[in-house]
């Protein structure tokens, strides 16, 4: 793959996003990582990714905010650069896990704006840019990958807003796949299971016990590099006739068993 291909990974400075950014950089991608922290707060991460010899840069901003999204897009396309890959990974858990009957509008709005509204409109903006790139250069290639969650189909009543947002990501993937299919831009969803990140650190003991008791077919946690491998395979073009599909990376957690 040409080293001149560029990827944007939202939420790429930690957790699953960093696992994805690392896998892409290892395969020769130039990577722009997005996050809400100031650039100096992620300098160590950026420098570590540069060990693979590709161009690594940062686009600061909150994808839930329209002005920030525009700034992210402008940064990605600065100096004539083009994006070949968008990975919608940024997302948050509820600040407090509340029972479905106690979930607040404030928590619902925050999770939906960051986890669903932000990715939708960022994808819209970048998809239009990708189409313009393809129209001006028939050899230009582009891919969009959304990072969902098993919570799209596995109900957790103490974080209902998160589940609803991830279900929305599943439909968003299909919608953009249908819209962009004839234009030669595939859209996929990667759906992780229980993954060891800072988002799950508060429930480590709970999931350690569940995994030990057989929650997953493969008796271990998932790791960011597991998702990174799946994303890099899709980005490489290994599944050219599978647009709109979901790639499960959950250790068999969602396999129906008796």
The span from the CA of 190 to the CA of 245, in Å, is 9
Give the model confidence (pLDDT) of 187-214 as tens digits: 999 999 999 998 888 889 999 999 999 9
Contact predicate 189/227, CB 8 Å? no
In a domain, 159, yes or no: yes
Q: 199 vs 16, 17, 90, 168, CA distance in Å?
A: 10, 12, 12, 20
In a domain, 258, yes or no: no
Q: How far is CA 65 from the centre of its chain?
A: 17
- The yes-or-no answer on residue 162 being catalytic is yes
Total domains in the chain come to 1
Domain of residue 195: give its range: 6-248
Nearby residues of 151 by Cβ (< 8 Å), 6 or more positions away = 159, 162, 163, 166, 167
Look up the CATH number of the domain holding residue 151: 3.40.50.720
| Catalytic entry in 58, 77, 162, 207 | 162
Say which range, 2-16, 33-47, 106-120, 176-190, has the weakest mean pLDDT.
2-16
CA-based torsion, 119, 9, 139, 79: positive or negative: positive
Look at residues 15, 20, 2 and name the one whose alpha carbon lies nearest to residue 233.
20
Nearby residues of 226 by Cβ (< 8 Å), 6 or more positions away = 19, 192, 195, 249
pLDDT of residue 20: 98
pLDDT band at 183 (very low <50, low <70, confident <90, very high): very high
In a domain, 180, yes or no: yes
Say which range, 3-7, 125-129, 206-210, has the weakest mean pLDDT.
3-7
pLDDT at 241 exceeding the cut of 80: yes
The span from the CA of 113 to the CA of 120, in Å, is 10
**Greatest pairwise CA separation for the chain in angstroms:** 57
Give the model confidence (pLDDT) of 34-92 as tens digits: 999 999 999 999 999 999 999 999 999 999 999 999 999 999 999 999 999 999 999 99
Q: How far is CA 171 from the centre of its chain?
A: 15
pLDDT at 231 exceeding the cut of 60: yes
pLDDT at 3 exceeding the cut of 80: no
Which whole number is the average pLDDT over 105-116?
A: 98
pLDDT of residue 227: 98
pLDDT of residue 1: 46
pLDDT of residue 198: 84
In a domain, 256, yes or no: no
In a domain, 82, yes or no: yes
In a domain, 17, yes or no: yes
Look at residues 18, 6, 9 and name the one whose alpha carbon lies nearest to residue 225.
18
In a domain, 14, yes or no: yes
pLDDT of residue 49: 98
pLDDT of residue 2: 46
Q: What percent of the chain is predicted at pLDDT more than 90?
A: 95
Tokens, residue 126: 């970048």
pTM for the structure as a whole: 0.96
pLDDT of residue 156: 96
In a domain, 253, yes or no: no
77-112 per-residue burial string, b: 16 or more CB within 10 A, e: under 16:
eeeeebbbbbbbbbbbbbeebbeeeebeeebbebbb
């Amino acid at each position: 793959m040409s080293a001149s291909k560029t990827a944007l990974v939202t939420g790429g400075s930690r957790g699953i996003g960093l696992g994805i950014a690392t896998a892409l950089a290892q395969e020769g991608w130039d990577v722009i990582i997005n996050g809400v922290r100031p650039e100096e707060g992620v300098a160590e991460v950026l420098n570590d990714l540069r060990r693979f010899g590709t161009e690594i840069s940062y686009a600061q901003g909150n994808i839930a905010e329209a002005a920030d999204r525009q700034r992210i897009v402008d940064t990605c396309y600065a100096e004539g650069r083009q994006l070949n890959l968008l990975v919608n990974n940024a997302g948050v858990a509820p600040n407090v896990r509340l029972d479905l009957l106690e979930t607040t509008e404030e928590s619902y709005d925050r999770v939906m704006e960051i986890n669903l509204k932000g990715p939708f409109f960022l994808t819209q903006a970048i998809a239009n840019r990708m189409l313009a790139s393809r129209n001006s250069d028939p050899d230009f290639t582009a891919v969009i990958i959304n990072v969902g969650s098993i919570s799209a189909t596995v109900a957790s009543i103490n974080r209902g807003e998160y589940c609803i947002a991830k279900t929305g990501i599943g439909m968003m993937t299909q919608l953009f796949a249908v819209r962009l299919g004839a234009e030669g831009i595939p859209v996929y969803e990667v759906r992780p299971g229980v993954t060891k990140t800072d988002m799950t650190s508060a429930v480590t003991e709970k999931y350690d016990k569940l995994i030990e008791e057989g929650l997953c077919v493969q008796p271990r946690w998932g790791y960011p590099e597991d998702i990174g491998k799946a994303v890099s395979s899709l980005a490489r073009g290994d599944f050219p006739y599978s647009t709109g599909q979901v790639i499960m990376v959950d250790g068999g957690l969602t396999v129906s068993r008796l």
